Structure 1
């Protein structure tokens, strides 16, 4: 369990730090002309963007390792804490000023994760039914359809809906990692959870990008945190046998709520602030 919590926190550190490096790279890449393809080509030529991608990949490896040894509710809360990492790294590298409330939210996230670490039991031993695998595939396909229709949504609720959709997509990834019990090629190809993982993850990235482009970053990220924590945690407890240590259910529930609330207070860091150019000296 200690190994799993270390991996979960490692994933949060990787994802949160990657956000800052990619934000800086995207700002620099956006100074040229051309469309989205040209923007991406300029971004991937920068070491910060490539470092961010590498950190994302390492974070995903940590996430898988954590999900194999910890309950989903503990891992999902730890991943939501990546917003706290982004805030701290942005304050250090980009000199972004955090308010006293935001520093307090970082401390709240840490306190919530500490409570979860103390209360979490081992991962559930139930492998999940075929029906659950198909349900996850259905949810993943639904999120993909939402991603394809995202540009047609309008109104103030658009960012929240897209953010929630992204959270559900990432939640599908968290659950399906537990539903894949064999890595043999033949088993992977016949397991609906494999397709749910790929489709859900792809839809989540599309939805999150659309949400951040089409509405409030804070609203979209709040929806993301809700979607990727509460649903997967419930699935883990109800269908996969996730439990807490004997007599510490109350502490796990409290820690989960505290960590998620602290992460939502830092929702503006869902898209990391970028470094502002220095003001030019007036010409005498």
Structure 2
């Protein structure tokens, strides 16, 4: 659980550092996406953010190999709370009382999950599950293609949900990877599902943040990357809670996800102009 929380801190902090670097790159002159990205890569904050993303992924993998998927998914959704707090500090983004309360709600939900979570399930799941993950990746890509024909709000929700499902594939695939030898990695469908699911998720998330409402897209992302993987972990991978604390785990999961949804506007790196749009205090 410590690794899951460390991953959330890394991802949430990386978002803000990359926001600062991207804003500085945009201020140095005009240019297209490639030019802006090149200037951002010359900013130490952007590189630090990328390093934190990499470190966060390592923590995520360690967490997924140690605790139930439902606990890790809720903790990763909590990275929005980290982004909100760090943005309030470094970017001077003004948080409303409701948003500060949401940060507290996320922390409370994670505390309940930490108390109730059992050990990682020791079941490998049915043999078809690995191939089903590859099918899920294809479904994610089809969902992304179909989302382009929807109106803005529906498009953002569909793309965000598809991105969340892609990240959910990554969470489940990490648990299904058995051997680390070259032959085992090359012949394991879960490895390909992990790589393709992550790539599809980043592609759809980028499109969602560029072409629709950040809040709506992030809400879909949070739901997609938490609910379905948690159910798979419980039903097929043997994830359980501590004896008699199943109700507490369900409550903690629901509370943490609800708090993350309340902070969904922080799914995209916040900018300074948003400081006055946080709502009434």
Q: Shorter-chain TM-score category? A: over 0.9
Query: Is 1:91–1:97's contact at 8 Å kept on the other side of the alignment?
Result: yes
1:1-284 to 2 correspondences below 5 Å? 5-31=1-27, 32-147=29-144, 151-276=148-273
1:174-199 CA distance string (max 9 Å, x none): 00000001111101111111110001
Q: Distance in 2 between matches of 1:98 and 1:269?
A: 11
Hey, what's the Cα distance between the residues in 2 that align with 1:94 and 1:243?
A: 40
Q: Post-superposition shift, 1:129?
A: 2.5
Q: CA deviation at 1:152?
A: 4.8
Q: Count how many residue pairs are aligned between Structure 1 and Structure 2.
A: 273
What SS does the aligned partner of 1:157 have? Answer: helix
Q: With structure 2 as the length reference, what TM-score do the two structures score? A: 0.94
- SS of the residue corresponding to residue 158 of structure 1 reads helix
Query: Structure 2 stretches of 5 or more lacking a match?
Result: 275-281
**Deviations 1:239-259, CA, capped at 9 Å, x for gaps:** 100000000000000000000
Q: TM-score, normalised by structure 1?
A: 0.93
Question: What 5-or-longer segments of structure 1 have no aligned partner?
Answer: 278-284
- The one-character-per-residue Cα deviations of 1:22-68 (angstroms, maximum 9, x if unpaired) are 11112222243332221211111111110110000000000000001
Cα 1:122/1:15, change in 2 over 3 Å: same
Distance 2:19 2:204 in 1: 18
Once structures 1 and 2 are overlaid, which stretch shifts more, 192-201 or 28-37? Answer: 28-37
